[in-house]
A and B are shown apart, each in its own frame.
Chain A
Amino acid sequence: MSTKVWIGLLFLFCVVLGVGRSDLSCAGPSGRHKLQINFWNGFTGPDGQIMLGIIRKFNEANPDVEVTMQRMDWDTYYNKLMVAELDGRGPEVFVIQSQWMARMNRAGFVADVSDLFTGSNPIPKDDFDPVVISQVQYGQKMVGVPLDIWPFGLYMNADYMKEIGFTDANGNARAPKDKAEFLKAITELKKTAPDGSADRWGFALDNWRWDFQSLLPQFNGRYFDEKGRADLANPNNVAALQFLVSLNGPPRLMPPPENAMGWVGFRQKKVAMVVDGIFMVGDLKRLNDFNYVGAPVPVIGSRPGTLADSHCLCVRHDLSPEMHKAAERFIKFLSNNSIDWADAGQVPARKSVRADPRFAQMPVQYAFSKEIPYIQYLPRTPVLFDINRELDFAVESAIRGRMSSQDALKQASDHVQEELDRDALEQKEEGLAK
């Protein structure tokens, strides 16, 4: 046979294979075409594998729907999601962290999924803590379903805590409860090498802004005043930041700012305690010889409190009724099975799921879930990008000793107010345009 005939046969084979494949993937058992749901998220770590397992279960249980997952780094996730959705090419179901919901909702591509909470076989609203469910409530609209909660808590090296006598009645490592205990612990945990340098630190900052924001609720801190104006430099916020700055010493109780060991130092057993989100527990699970425990953030201020956020499941606004129903069925499945998701290093958003005995077997998740009554979410504002940017710099400037806590937060507050004014002007212009 000539080359041309071979190429022709190969082409024919590919066409047949392609048609067959497309038929296999799109037709359900009844011969109807499957509904294809694209699900986008930023679960690029081991959590993605767990989510994939849940999706497989859904696909098996729902032969008329096929969900495919697309994962991408959170850093680029939102701009891809935004552009894809505004262009009508976005996924049918996607995850939005509650902190970014205000902006994404304003962009207008997030559907109202109120019927998930009210229709037949609803997800009960009262199965969520009020602070959690309020993250997806915009006026009369419910713009998503919180899948989980990720509170920030205290991670400890259990062996080191036992070494300094921080144990409970059963001899297990325990966390410092208040400021006095915390300072005592980090003082005793610090070990000095013969040359005077620190061999081990009791505590290290990880993400400096998150460390600060985890303390804010304890000091009754806030982002805006009653009139909605930026209020980052209020005395409570300054006190929270000043506490972190004070750990620079003397005596120095955390590594110098130039040696930002944070989480890596904790994993390397050079740091005994760090504050971070529950999502980091997946990283610790991979270590074989590391004895760690989790606990609520010690009460440094006047009351317990910590930072938290949630992954919210959302639907695209322009789906056909049939697709919308299928998307909601998928979301309901994820919500109902969020105990599996908890294993990825999350606290389930629903109370009934947290009551599952399996959840109590997840020690760090279970310990961090005790913080839920006093968690504080980031403010619901379209200028969150600017708040984060300003706080990053303010906290860094104060900790590096470039500016006083008061001045650094004042500068941040002024810049955020400028952005609020600019945004308000844009909103006004939008109103006029309408």
Chain B
Amino acid sequence: MTYTQSRRWGGLLFLLPYALSFLVFVVVPVVVALGLAFMQFDLTNRGAIHFIGLGNFKEALGDTYFWQALKATFTYVILMVPGVVVAGLAMALGMNAMARGRNAVRALFFLPGLFNVAVTGLLWRWFFEDDFGLFNYLLKKMGLHTVPWLSSSAYAMPSIVLMSLWWVLGGTAIVLLAAVQQIPRPLFEAAMLDGAGGRALLSKMTLPLLRPVLLFVVVMNTIGAFQVFGQPFILTRGGPERVTRGLVQYIYEMAFNNYRLGYGAAMSWLLFLVVAVFALVQYRFLRRSVS
């Protein structure tokens, strides 16, 4: 075997473990889900399993709950993505400006992201508790009215977004901080010598130079936000009045509580289409700005 061949085989061998797991746990389920989406597949009615073409997709498009869940998902995305990008950027700039203790602060911000969603959800359920939760306790101490964080349809989704921000903000801020630190300092110094103020430095230098990383952050957070499940599932179970029941939760309920795997698979593909379109639009739009 020549050196080139052995290098090629070596590379393939290194790839093999991941490629195998990718095949088994991603490719196969995706192909199976694609097949299921075109079938009437109810686990409790296995005698009636058969191909129904676009039947499941048509049913989803006429299903009030599908649209309701999609609306809840969009609400979450609209509140979450700008929130995480703006707050993450602010935190990154703040940490960048710190002369001392930056590493400690960075580690502290990153800490919540190490908890899994169940732990985070249970913790925040206690924070949000109406009567003896932390937030309402603090509000009472300050002589303010308490807030029905999770039991009012007006507050429930913003409350979930608040928890999600706490959970993921550290990771985003660290990515942005790394990008900010890559910007050469002499550029800033030259601009300041030319009389640029803080606002001009941010809008004319920092943001334009951060665009490639911002593109990454926006697209990844959008994809993540469309897939929201754990936070509302633990905090509100989709209530009150279904305002926090996102599409993934509805898919889960249909497929795993109602055993309609075909219908659940079809809705998953519809969600995939929505996410793909959004990601593509954002990518095109921001890439143009970058170039």
Which residues of A line the B interface, CB within 8 A? 76, 78-79, 82-83, 86, 103-104, 106-108, 257-261, 264-265, 268, 270, 382, 385-386, 389, 393, 396-397, 400, 402, 423, 426-427, 429-430, 433-434
A433 touches B47 (CB 8 A): yes
Sample of 20 further A-B pairs with CB below 8 A, known A83-B43, A257-B240, A434-B47: A76-B256, A79-B256, A86-B46, A107-B43, A107-B44, A107-B46, A108-B46, A258-B130, A258-B148, A259-B148, A260-B130, A261-B130, A265-B131, A270-B131, A382-B45, A386-B258, A396-B239, A426-B45, A430-B47, A433-B48
**Nearest Cβ in chain B — how far from A427, in angstroms?**
7
Hey, what's the 0/1 contact readout for B28-42 against A, CB within 8 Å counting as 1? 000000000000101
Chain A residue numbers with a CB within 8 Å of B47 are 430, 433-434
What would be 11 A-B contacts, judged by CB atoms less than 8 Å apart?
A83-B43, A86-B43, A106-B45, A259-B151, A260-B130, A261-B130, A382-B45, A397-B241, A426-B45, A426-B48, A429-B40
In the complex, what residue of chain B is closest to A419 when comparing beta carbons? B258
Cα-based distance from A396 to B47 in the complex (angstroms)? 36
Is A82's CB under 8 angstroms from B45's CB? no
Report the nearest A residue to B254, measured CB to CB.
A385
Please name the residue on chain B nearest to A268 by beta carbon.
Answer: B131
On whether the beta carbons of B48 and A382 are closer than 8 Å, the reply is no
Q: Is B257 an interface residue (CB 8 A)?
A: yes
By secondary structure, the B interface counts as: loop
Option from A389, A396, A429 in Cβ contact (under 8 Å) with B50: A429
Q: Chain A residues with Cβ under 8 A from B258's Cβ?
A: 385-386
Is B151's CB under 8 angstroms from A393's CB?
no
Chain B nearest Cβ from A294, distance in angstroms: 24
How far is it, in angstroms, between the C-alpha of A386 and the C-alpha of B257 when the chains are bound?
10
B residues near A (Cβ < 8 Å) are 40, 42-48, 50, 130-132, 148, 151-153, 239-242, 253, 256-259
Q: Which residues of A contact B242 (CB under 8 A)?
A: 393
A107 cross-chain contacts in B, Cβ below 8 A: 43-44, 46, 259
Per the bound structure, the CA–CA distance linking A433 and B49 in Å amounts to: 9
Which of B43, B48, B131 is within 8 Å of A429, CB to CB?
Answer: B48
Q: Contact between B131 and A261 (Cβ–Cβ < 8 Å)?
A: yes
What's the minimum C-beta distance from A210 to chain B, rounded to whole angstroms?
15
Q: Tell me which residues across on chain B come within 8 A of A434, comparing CB atoms.
A: 47
Q: Is the CB of B46 within 8 A of A402?
A: no
Instruction: Please tell me if the beta carbons of A426 and B241 are within 8 angstroms of each other in the complex.
Output: no
Inter-subunit contact A382/B131 (CB<8 Å) = no
Which chain B residue has the least Cβ–Cβ distance from A400? Answer: B241
Q: Select from chain B the residue with minimum beta-carbon distance to A383.
A: B258
Closest Cβ of chain B to A28, distance in Å, is: 37
A396 touching B45, Cβ below 8 Å: no
Q: How far is the CB of A348 from chain B (nearest CB, A)?
A: 30
Q: Is the CB of B151 within 8 A of A260?
A: yes
A393-B241 in contact given A257-B151, A385-B257, A429-B50 (Cβ < 8 Å): yes
- Tell which of A106, A258, A382, A386 touches B151, judged by Cβ atoms closer than 8 Å: A258
* Residue from A103, A396, A400, A429 in contact with B44 in the complex, judged by beta carbons closer than 8 Å: A103
**Is the Cβ of B241 less than 8 Å from the Cβ of A258?**
no
Nearest-Cβ distance from residue B261 to partner chain A, whole angstroms: 10
Q: Cα distance A393–B50 when bound, in Å?
A: 32
What residue in chain A is nearest B146 (Cβ atoms)?
A259
Name the residue of chain A whose CB is nearest to the CB of B148.
A258
**Min distance, Cβ A104 to any Cβ of chain B, angstroms:** 8
Asked whether, in the complex, the Cβ of A430 is within 8 Å of the Cβ of B45, the reply is yes
- The answer for the CA separation of A429 and B45 in the assembled complex, in Å, is 10
CA distance A129 to B130 in the complex (A): 42
| A83 proximity list for chain B (CB < 8 A) | 43
- A190-B151 Cα distance, complex, nearest whole Å: 22
B151/A430 in contact, CB under 8 A: no
Return the 10 tightest CB-CB contacts between A and B, nearest first.
A430-B48, A258-B148, A430-B47, A79-B256, A107-B44, A426-B48, A429-B48, A258-B152, A385-B258, A260-B151
Query: A residues within 8 A CB of B259?
Result: 79, 82, 103, 107
